Amino acid sequence: MSRTTIAQATLPQTALDRDDRDDLGDARPIAPLRALDNGDQRMRAELAVADLLTALGRDVTSEHLAETPRRVAASLLEMLTPREFTMTTFPNDEGYEELVLVRDIPFHSLCEHHLLPFRGVAHVGYVPGDRIVGLSKLARVVELFSRDLQVQERLTQQISRYLTQELAARGVGVVLEAEHLCMTMRGAQAAGSKTTTTAFTGVLAQDNAMRRQFGLAGVGLPA
Ligand SMILES: [Zn+2]
């Protein structure tokens, strides 16, 4: 029995009342991992931003900066709170057993070392087992983990592990290409540099020919 099947057995009925109910697939709600946005947190974040600006020698009582703490706190909370979505899978009735690849999914995240953005594209593929997934859900999974304080390596692995577990796929491949502003706007100032990270599981880890399909689809893999 696959893990997906176990998950179905514990599926709450209300899950099917969500936005994807007309898909008639296996629909499970995915709650945001980090529900950060409550009033108290927002207020404390605003005060902290005002303190930071003051510490940097800025006058937060000036007309220009008066609303900045509120905006910065709201922006951070938005960027750190993933949106709820429903993971919808369907039976793989046709027995499709090749790579399914969604390329160029845009994402942005926040580097946990500098609180500066890194952003780029994710290429997410899998080789189905008994279930296939609604393609848009691959993009939602990327967002689920990217709206967090992150490093690109961990983000890549989290997306891969989550999909491997949720889909009981025969293999999962995740390739992220991103520009890190902490590297291009400061420090090394290596403008235009991109970082590529990869995570392959199952047949995509074991089978070079299958993994090469990522490359054939135009995804640049490190040598
Ligand atoms: Zn950084």
CA of 181 to the centre of ligand 1 (A): 7
Give residue-wise pLDDT tens across range 80-124: 999 888 998 999 999 999 999 999 999 999 999 999 999 999 999
CA of 151 to the centre of ligand 1 (A): 8
pLDDT for the residue 4: 34
Burial of 181 (0-12, 13-18, 19+ CB in 10 A): middle
Cβ contacts of 39 within 8 Å, gap of 6 or more: none
Place of tokens 């949720």: 166
**2 pLDDT more than 60:** no
**Letter string b/e over residues 149-161, b meaning 16 or more CB atoms within 10 A of that residue's CB:** ebebeebbbbbbe
Hey, where are the domains in the chain? 39-79, 89-216
Q: Which residues pair with 109 in a beta bridge?
A: 118
Tell me which architecture the domain covering 89-216 has in CATH.
Answer: 2-Layer Sandwich (3.30)
Give residue-wise pLDDT tens across range 68-77: 999 999 999 9
Whether 98 sits among the annotated catalytic residues: the reply is: no
Give residue-wise pLDDT tens across range 115-132: 999 999 999 999 999 999
**CATH fold label, 39-79:** GTP Cyclohydrolase I; Chain A, domain 1 (1.10.286)
The catalytic residue among 8, 165, 177, 182 is 182
**155 pLDDT more than 80:** yes
**67 pLDDT more than 60:** yes
